[in-house]
Amino acid sequence: MANLIIKSVFRDKEFIPEKHTCDGENVSPLLEIRNVPEEAKSLVLIMDDPDAVGLPAGQQAWDHWIVWNIDPKSQYIPEGELPEGARVGKNTRGKQAYGGPCPPTGHKAHRYFFRLYALDAVLELPDGSDRKAVEMTMIGHILKQASLIGMYQRKK
C-alpha cells in the first residue's frame, strides 16, 4: 500500500505563509490527506515546534494543535476549520484551538511538524485532552503515519 501523505499550501521544509501564524490571521492551513489505509477508523493530527525554548517540564516540543477522531475518509482539513466530528485537545498555551507559529523575534527559523496518524481505532478521550493522553491512547493502534514540516521566522 502507498504511504500516507499530508500536504499543504506550503511544501515540505518550506516557509508557512504568514496568514497561518501569529503575525497574520492565525488560521490553520488547508491540509490535504491522501492514501489513508482502508482499515483506518480515525486520524490524529499533532502540530508541534521542537525548536521552542522555555518548554514546561517534561515537554519535548511546543504543542500548537492536537486533533483526533478525524474521519479517515477526509481528504482535506479546510483552512481555519475542523472536519465534522473531530475532537480538539489542549495545546501548550492551554487552549483548545489551533495556535499558529509564533517563535520569539530574533530566533532563527523554527520547524513546525504536522504529524498525521492513521489509526485502527476511534479514541475515547474527552475534549481538551492533552498530547500525552492522546499519544498514550494511540499506542498499539497506529497503522501508518506521515509528517509535513513547515518553517517560520518572525520579522525583526
CATH number for the domain that contains residue 34: 3.90.280.10
Enter the DSSP assignment of 96.
S
What stretches in the chain show pLDDT beneath 70? 1
Q: Which pTM was predicted?
A: 0.96
Domain of residue 89, residue span: 5-149
Q: Name 68's bridge partners.
A: 87
pLDDT of residue 1: 63
- At 95 the pLDDT is 96
Burial of residue 71 (CB within 10 Å: 0-12, 13-18, 19+) is middle
Asked if residue 93 belongs to a domain, the reply is yes
Could you write out the DSSP letters of every residue in 52-76? -SSPPTT-SSEEEEEEEEE-TT--E
Total domains in the chain come to 1
Give me the sign of the Cα torsion angle 101, 105, 62, 50: positive
Asked if residue 140 lies in contact with residue 121, where contact means CB atoms within 8 angstroms, the answer is no
Whole-number pLDDT of residue 54: 82
- Going by C-alpha positions, the residue among 66, 69, 83, 54 that lies closest to residue 130 is 66
Dihedral angle sign, alpha carbons of residues 48, 53, 56, 58: positive
pLDDT at 91: 96
Please indicate, yes or no, if residue 77 is contained in any of the structural domains.
Answer: yes
Q: Is 154 inside any structural domain?
A: no
Residues 109 and 151 sit within 8 Å (Cβ to Cβ):
yes
